[in-house]
Amino acid sequence: MVLFKQPIIEVASNRIFGYEVLTRVREGNELRGADTFIEDLEQQGMEEFDKFVIHGALKLKQNSADLKGTKLFINLSAGSIQNEAFMLTLPSRLKKYGIPSGELVIEITEREVLRHLSGMSALMHKLKDMGVQFALDDFGSGFDSFLYLRHFPVDYVKIEGSFVKNMAKNNRDLQLVKHIHLVAKALGVRTIAEWVEDHEIHKLVSQLGIGIAQGYYYGKPIECLDQDRPKSNTA
Per-residue contact flags (x/-) with Mn ion for residues 80 to 109, judged by CB under 5 A: ---------------------------x--
Part in contact with ligand G (CB under 6 A); list of ranges 11-19, 179-187, 214-222, 225-233: 214-222
The runs of H, that is alpha helices, within the chain are 34-44, 47-63, 78-81, 84-87, 90-96, 117-129, 145-151, 161-166, 171-186, 199-207
CB of 171 to Mn ion, least distance (A): 26
> Judged by CB under 5 A, which of 137, 155, 160, 173 binds Mn ion?
137
Distance, CA of 97 to CA of 95 (rounded, Å)? 5
DSSP 15-31: -EEEEEEEEEEEETTEE
CB of 23 to Mn ion, least distance (A): 10
Binding partner at 145 among ligand G, Mn ion, none, C-beta below 5 to 8 Å by kind: none
**Cβ atoms within 10 A of the Cβ of 196, count?**
27
CB of 102 to Mn ion, least distance (A): 19
Count Cα atoms within 13 angstroms, Cβ side, for 51: 16
177 close to 159: Cβ distance less than 8 angstroms: yes
81 close to 87: Cβ distance less than 8 angstroms: yes
With CB under 6 A, what is the number of residues at the site for ligand G?
A: 14
Nearer to ligand G, 77 or 109 (CB): 109
Nearer to Mn ion, 136 or 171 (CB): 136
> Judged by CB under 6 A, which of 197, 206, 230, 235 binds ligand G?
197
DSSP letter for 231, please.
P
Does 138 engage in binding with ligand G (CB under 6 A)? yes
Binding partner at 160 among ligand G, Mn ion, none, C-beta below 5 to 8 Å by kind: none
> Judged by CB under 6 A, which of 149, 195, 213, 224 binds ligand G?
195
Does 221 engage in binding with ligand G (CB under 6 A)? yes
DSSP 88-116: TTHHHHHHHTT--GGGEEEEEETTS----
Which positions touch ligand G (CB under 6 A)? 6, 22, 33, 75, 109, 137-138, 161, 194-195, 197, 215-216, 221
